[in-house]
Every structure is written in C-alpha cells, then in structure tokens.
C-alpha cells in the first residue's frame, strides 16, 4: 500500500490542486463553508499520506527528515482546524518535490545522453563467414565485427579492413569526425558517419573505454564532497533543533499555529539539495566536454589549484619526436645501426619510435638479457656484444668515456634543444642522436588561459636534458623548468611544493608519472581514455586534448562557486522566514511554504546553469 501511494504522488498533487480550487470556488462563488472546509480536509488527508509514509520510512532508519517536520505541521494544522493552511502546505510540498525531481533529472541529462549512446547490438561474423546481428553482450574478445555507415561501434577494437570517419564526441567531447583506417583504434559508443569497417573486438562491455567513462561519471556523481558531508551532519542536528525550537515557542506563547508554522518554515530543503545539484551538473558538463572529474571532492580541490606541474613529452609537446641531428664515431655504421634498431624495437617509448623511423630498413639481431634502467635507457646483449642505449647518465654508469669531440657534440645538441640518445657497444661510444619534439599546437593559448584563471606557477619537469627543457620553458614562458628528473625526483619535487603550502596539479600521461599523479593534490592524465589514465588520476582529459584543461579548471571554479551560492541562498531564506515569522505580522504558514519551495527551485535552477557553461563564455565575460 505504501509503495502504491508513493507511486501516485504526482496524481495526488493534481487532485489536491483541483480540490483546493473547488474549495475556494465553493466559498467565494457559492458562499458554502461546508464545501470549503470538507474539500480542504480531504485535500489535506490525501496530501499528508505520502508525506507521512516518507517520514515513517525516515524514522525507521533513525533520520528526522524534512518529511517529519511537514507531517507534524500538517497534522497540527488539522487539529487546530486550520484546513486552509494544512491543504496548501501539502500541495506546495508535493508540487515542490515534483519540480525538484523533474529538474534534477535534467541535471543528470549528461549521464542519460551517455547511456543512450551505449550500443545494444553488433554485426558479428559467424563460422560460415556471414554476419548476423547479435546482442552486444554476446560479443567476445577476438570476434570479427562489421560496422556500417550510421551505426554505433559496439566495442573497443582495431580496424582490420575498410576506411571511414567516426564521430568520437561520446569519448572525447569533440564532434569533428576522426579518420579511421587499417590498424586504427575505435571505441564503443562512437558513430561511424561514413564508410564500412571490419573490426576485431579487443575490449567488451564494462571494460570498454565508453563503459569505464559511464562507470566513472556515475561514481563521481554519487560521491560526496566535504561540503555535502557537512550538510548531512548539519541536517542531522538541525531538524531536531527546529522541533525543539517549535516546542519552546509553544511553551512560552501557547500559540499552536505559530509553533506549527516554525516547523514548516524551518525545513532545510534548499540546503540539502543545493550542493548535490551543483555537483551533478558540474560533473555532467565535464562528461559532455571530454573532461572526466572523479567526484565533487576533486572539484573542490581543483578549483583552489595555484601551481600546475607538467610532464614535457606527450603533454606540452606532441609526443611524436623526430631525429634532428646525429653523429657517428667509428666504422661499421650499418652494423651498429642494426644493433641500435634491434634494441629500440624492444621499447614503446616515443624516442625509441623516432630512432626506428630514422633508421628505416635494416637487419635486426636477436636481443638477449634486456634491462631497462628507469630514466636512463636500456642495456642489452646481442651475441657477445653489450649494447647500451640511453642518456649521458647511462654512459657514465656503463663507464663509457666521451672524447673531446663527443663532449662538444653533446653540449651543442643539448643547446639546440635535443633529447640525447647515445649508443655504446662494449663500452665505446658509437652513435649520438639528437631528437626533438614539437610543442603542441595551441599550448601557449592554453597556458595564458590558465594564468587568467588564477594559476600562479607553471612548471615543467622532464627526464630530458636541461637544455631541451629550458628551450621549451623559454618558448612557453613557464615559471620553472627542471630536466634530468627521474619519476622519483618528480614526486619529491611535488612534495616540496606542497610543503611550501602550494596546491599542486600534475599533468602527465598517466603511465610513467603515476607517483606524481598520485602525490599531487590533483592528478590530471592526458590519456586518450586509457585504463591506466582513468585509474591513476583525478581528472582525465579524453583523447589527450590539452585544450580542455582551461575548461576543466574554469568548470571546477564556477561549480565550487555555485555550491557556495546555493548554501548562502538556502540558509538566507530560512533565516529570513523565521525572522519574519517572529518579528512581523504578514508571515504565515502558506506564504512561508511558498517561499520555501521557491528557494528549492531557485537553487536547482542555479545549479542547472552549470550544464550550459563553456570556457569561451567565461573568457568573454572576463574581457567584456
């Protein structure tokens, strides 16, 4: 019965409205007080039923909720035969609940849009090589799928044949179609705008990037910030306090109506709903725009950041370096390049890829006993030869002597902004390569925007040589630049900044810099939605889109400000209502309830403004 009554709350609200209109028509048109009183009594009883059930359910778990206050107030108004107040209060409370739920559903529209994009079926290649439409849950890793024009990509996979353009807005927030060809990665939930692709299923269901995004955003929207936890504690003590205040007022004044009205006006509805709606709307906006925020606590901390530390490669730079200069020392150049290529193809590092691209076709050898020296390079054996490939620090560790010419070349290459790759065979330097990476397009504009948003210090930390790092810092006008930084040194540097009282965000690739991402107040991953990026960071910039960073910071600042506005509105309204009730003649239960419900609607609408936030709008206001 309880469930049935609660399911009909909206219908009950409509019936109450009709009964109230009928009651006042009976009084003022027909001059019939019997119709007036009984219509309002029926309206009050109908209206208080769902409120009383909710109050009972709250009391069962030892929570004195707003519903408890309203139930007592309505029953009290019925007892003193103030039917007009009791019916209007129940209508306003139920109607306010309806508006609240409706507007809250709108703030969750980002999640709904995401879940609506979740693929439901796939064209799967069967044993007879024909394609059949199956439920996406029937797709396994390794299956061959066909994606046609206009269809959703059902899983994360790799293109085997075909070519086309895919709208990846559900993953990156960017609606510009991305060209896909053989060996390209595709993501579940994205839409093939033209072409036909045959793909291999690599990740399915909740393990897809899209599935992880939905899970992350839902968890973030359900998480509670310190402000919300404070409000929960506040409400726990506040509601009983209102009951006590009402009883004390009745003891001294013996005015039952005044005591009951205090119960109605003291309801902290806007306070309870104000912060969560801001949190939900802010995280929803981020999800739409390629920015994943892991909860409202992240929003609060990120909004206060005054120092941002960047990894260089793949963050400030494109992460696709090329060999710009090289020097050879000794003979047998082709054989040595073959050894170098054999060692470098063991690594996925961007610099290794640059070396392999420069060498091109060569003869590869079998590599044995490979040892990766973190932050320095690789040592391996090829036949009887010991091969060392890495920076100057590795050469020193391997006791490789650098001649005068080599030292001059190293100095010159560093001055030109190169990362160095030295190759030694059996303790003798054979090759020096200078590798340069290009600065990401638009980075200067992004850094200017961050400064405008209140970030005081912009720092780059890199494992590259100091010359390379200084060159990037000068070009981008960064506050500080430090090279030769191993992951441990980066983490120690961040701890030092925090010890000085700075609130630090670290922007990295989510793989090599996990200690720094974990230590920083806010870890921001340039991750293309990779699993590692999603797991290790507080904020993920999808598709490694650096230009989203100002939007992310601006969004957290305006969301945090929005939360404070809603708290101020809620507390201010309750104080004004109670003050007016005690020290003025015009305030009554109906007017107070109307203002109370209006305040709930105001904080919800204020929170919903965040759904429309764009960094460009904030920028335009700043420069208006």
**Residues labelled as active-site residues:** 311
Long-range CB pairs of 236-245, under 8 A, 24+ apart, other chains included: 236/63, 236/64, 238/268, 239/64, 239/65, 239/66, 239/68, 239/69, 239/268, 240/64, 242/69, 242/266, 242/267, 243/64, 243/68, 243/69, 243/72
- Output the CA angle 74-75-79, nearest 5 degrees: 115
Tokens for 432, please give them. Answer: 């020096």
Calpha distance 253→259 (Å, rounded): 9
Q: Are 247 and 260 within 8 A, CB to CB?
A: no
Three-state secondary structure call for residue 175: coil
**Partner residues linked to 308 by β-bridges:** 458, 505
Backbone angles phi, psi at 207, to 5 degrees: -80, -10
E strands along 557-621, which residues? none
How far apart CA 213 and CA 206 sit, in angstroms, is 9
- The size of the chain, in residues, is 624
Give the orientation angle of helix 615-622 with respect to helix 549-583, to 10 degrees: 70
Strand 178-180, strand 156-167: pairing: antiparallel
The first and second tokens of residue 100, run together, are: 């609240």
Who contacts 256 (Cβ-Cβ below 8 Å, separation ≥6)? 76, 79, 80, 250
Q: How far apart are CA 38 and CA 527, in angstroms?
A: 66
Conformation bin of residue 405: beta by default, left when phi > 0, alpha when psi is -120 to 50: alpha
Backbone angles phi, psi at 116, to 5 degrees: -65, -25
β-sheet bridge partners, residue 272:
none
| Kind and range of the H or E run holding 389 | strand 385-390
CA dist., res. 312 & res. 584, Å (int): 65
153: left (phi over 0), alpha (psi -120 to 50) or beta: beta
* Spatial separation of the C-alpha atoms in residues 464 and 351, rounded to whole Å: 11
Contact (Cβ atoms closer than 8 angstroms) between residue 456 and residue 306: yes
Torsion, Cα of 60, 65, 67, 73 (10° steps): 110
- Written as six digits, the tokens of 243 are 């009951």
| 463-473 per-residue burial string, b: 16 or more CB within 10 A, e: under 16 | bbbebbbbbbb
> How far is residue 80's CA from residue 154's CA, in Å, rounded to a whole number?
64
Q: Angle at which helices 269-288 and 589-608 pack, to 10 degrees?
A: 20
């Amino acid at each position: 019965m309880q469930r049935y009554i609660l399911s009909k709350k909206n219908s009950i609200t409509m019936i109450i409205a009709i009964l109230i209109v009928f009651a006042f028509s009976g009084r003022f048109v027909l001059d019939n007080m019997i119709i007036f009183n009984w219509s309002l009594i029926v309206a009050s009883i109908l209206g208080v039923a769902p409120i009383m059930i909710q109050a009972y359910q709250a009391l069962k778990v030892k929570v004195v909720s707003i519903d408890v206050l309203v139930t007592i107030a309505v029953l009290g108004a019925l007892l003193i035969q103030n039917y007009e107040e009791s019916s209007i209060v129940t209508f306003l409370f139920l109607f306010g609940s309806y508006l609240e739920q409706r507007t809250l559903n709108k703030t969750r529209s980002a999640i709904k849009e995401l879940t609506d994009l979740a693929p439901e079926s796939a064209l799967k290649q069967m044993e007879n090589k024909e394609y059949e439409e199956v439920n996406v849950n029937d797709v396994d890793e390794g299956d061959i799928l066909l994606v046609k024009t206009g269809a959703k990509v059902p899983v994360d996979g790799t293109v085997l044949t075909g070519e086309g353009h895919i709208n990846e807005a559900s993953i990156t927030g960017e609606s510009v179609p991305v060209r896909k060809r053989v060996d390209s990665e595709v993501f579940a939930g994205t839409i093939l705008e033209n072409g036909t692709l045959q793909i291999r299923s690599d990740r399915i269901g909740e393990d897809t990037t899209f599935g992880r995004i939905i899970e992350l955003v839902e968890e973030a929207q359900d998480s509670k910030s310190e402000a919300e936890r404070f409000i929960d504690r506040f409400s726990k003590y506040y509601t009983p306090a209102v009951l006590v205040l009402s009883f004390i007022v009745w003891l001294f004044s013996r005015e039952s109506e005044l005591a009951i009205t205090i119960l109605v006006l003291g309801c902290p509805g806007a306070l309870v709903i104000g912060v969560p709606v801001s949190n939900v709307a802010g995280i929803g906006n981020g999800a739409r725009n390629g920015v994943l925020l892991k909860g409202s606590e992240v929003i609060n901390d990120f909004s206060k950041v005054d120092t941002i530390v960047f990894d260089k490669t793949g963050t400030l730079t494109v992460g696709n370096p090329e060999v710009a200069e090289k020097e050879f020392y000794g003979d047998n150049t082709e054989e040595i390049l073959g050894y170098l290529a054999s060692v470098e193809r063991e690594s996925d590092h961007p610099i290794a890829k640059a070396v392999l691209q420069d060498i091109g076709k060569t003869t590869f050898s079998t590599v044995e006993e490979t040892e990766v020296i973190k932050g320095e390079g690789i040592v391996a054996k090829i036949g009887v030869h010991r091969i060392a490939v890495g920076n100057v620090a590795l050469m020193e560790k391997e006791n490789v002597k650098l001649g005068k010419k080599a030292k001059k070349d190293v100095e010159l290459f560093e001055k030109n902004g190169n990362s160095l790759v030295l190759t030694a065979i059996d303790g003798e330097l054979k090759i020096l390569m200078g590798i340069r990476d290009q600065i990401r397009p638009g980075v200067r504009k992004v850094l200017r925007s961050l400064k405008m948003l209140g970030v005081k210090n912009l720092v780059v930390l890199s494992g590259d040589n100091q010359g390379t790092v200084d060159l990037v810092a000068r070009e981008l006008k960064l506050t500080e630049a430090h090279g030769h930084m191993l992951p441990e040194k980066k983490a120690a540097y961040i701890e030092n900044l925090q010890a000085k009282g700075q609130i630090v965000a670290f922007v990295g690739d989510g793989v090599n810099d996990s200690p720094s991402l974990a230590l920083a107040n806010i870890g921001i991953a340039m991750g293309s939605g990779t699993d590692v990026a999603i797991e290790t960071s507080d904020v993920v910039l999808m598709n490694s889109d650096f230009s989203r960073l100002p939007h992310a910071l601006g969004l957290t600042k305006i969301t945090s400000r929005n939360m404070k506005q809603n708290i101020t509105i809620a507390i201010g309204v309750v104080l004004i209502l109670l003050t007016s009730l005690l020290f003025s003649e015009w305030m009554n239960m109906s007017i107070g309830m109307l203002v109370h419900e209006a305040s709930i609607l105001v904080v919800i609408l204020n929170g919903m403004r965040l759904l429309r936030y764009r960094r460009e709008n904030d920028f335009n206001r700043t420069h208006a």
